[in-house]
């Protein structure tokens, strides 16, 4: 599995934060706490990394990834009742717009849940 050791470390950090904070905070609180926990594990982690979106070779917008770990894994955080199709689509679009192939969708809802997404670069069109 692509970047399995990194995603395993991120998921462990996620559960550490979830067990400490529980649910009910805004996403920004979880983002900051998870950033600290991931860095404590010795991984390079940046928050709010901009992702440019192109259409027909024209820049048409920006996204901001909640976290990018080791410049390899995009982490999208939610604080929702449960994960929805729109949340998965958002992460898939982040992967589509970058050279990153692995993403994690982490929800700090009433019960913890996560999804791992893979979008290999060989399947991407117009990768910038």
**What is the average per-residue pLDDT within 38-62?**
91
Q: Beta partners for 59?
A: 54
Helix (H, G, I), strand (E, B) or coil at 8: helix
Report if residue 103 sits inside a domain.
yes
Domain that holds residue 74: 4-123
Report if residue 92 sits inside a domain.
yes
Task: Inform me whether the pLDDT recorded for 29 exceeds 90.
Answer: yes
Domain of 115, CATH number, reads 3.90.320.10
Report if residue 128 sits inside a domain.
no
Chain segment 58-112, per-residue pLDDT in tens: 888 888 999 999 999 999 999 999 999 999 999 999 998 889 999 999 999 999 9
For the chain, the domain total comes to 1
Residue 92 has a CB neighbour count (10 Å cut-off) of: 16
Report if residue 68 sits inside a domain.
yes
In this prediction the pTM is 0.92
> What does DSSP say about strands 58-69 and 45-55: parallel, antiparallel, or unpaired?
antiparallel
């Amino acid at each position: 599995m692509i970047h399995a050791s990194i995603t395993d470390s991120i998921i462990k950090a996620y559960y550490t934060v979830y067990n400490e904070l529980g649910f009910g905070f805004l996403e920004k609180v979880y983002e900051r706490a998870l950033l600290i926990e991931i860095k404590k594990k010795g991984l390079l982690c940046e928050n709010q990394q901009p992702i440019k979106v192109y259409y027909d070779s024209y820049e048409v917008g920006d996204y901001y990834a909640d976290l990018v770990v080791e410049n390899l894994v995009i982490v999208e955080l939610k604080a929702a009742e449960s994960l929805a199709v729109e949340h998965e689509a958002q992460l898939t679009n982040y992967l589509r717009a970058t050279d990153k192939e692995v993403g994690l969708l982490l929800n700090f809802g009433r019960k913890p849940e996560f999804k791992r997404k893979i979008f290999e670069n060989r399947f991407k069109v117009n990768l910038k």
